[in-house]
Amino acid sequence: MDETIKRNMSDTPQKEDSHPMSPFQFREDGFLVLEHFFSPEECDSMRSSIQRILEGMEVPPHCRTEFSTKEEEQLQAQGSSDYFLTSGDKIRFFFEKGVLDEKGNFLIAKEKSVSKIGHALHAHDPIFKQITHSSKVQAQTPTPLLLTAVTPHQDATFLHTEPLGRVLGFWIALEDATLENGCLWFIPGSHTSGVTRRMVRAAQGASTCVEFVGSDPPYDDSKFIPVPISKGGLIVIHGEVVHKSETNSSEFSRHVYTFHVMEAKDTTWSKENW
Q: How many CB atoms are located within 10 Å of the residue 267 CB?
A: 16
Q: Check pLDDT > 80 for residue 71.
A: no
Closest to 123 in 3D by CA, of 133, 134, 113 = 133
CATH code of the domain in which 43 resides: 2.60.120.620
pLDDT on residue 82: 76
Residue 261 lies in a domain: yes
Question: Which residues make beta-bridge pairs with 33?
Answer: 235
98 C-beta neighbours (distance < 10 Å), count: 10
Total number of residues shown for the chain: 274
As a whole number of angstroms, the distance between CA 230 and CA 35 comes to 7
Per-residue pLDDT averaged across 207-211, rounded? 83
pLDDT > 60? residue 9: no
Intra-chain end-to-end CA distance of the chain, in Å:
19
Is residue 106 a part of any domain in this protein? no
Domain-embedded: residue 236: yes
Q: Identify the domain containing residue 136 by its residue range.
A: 23-49+125-269
In a domain, 69, yes or no: no
Tens digit of pLDDT for each residue in 246-269? 988 898 999 999 999 998 889 999
Domain count, the chain: 1
Whether residue 67 lies inside any domain: the answer is no
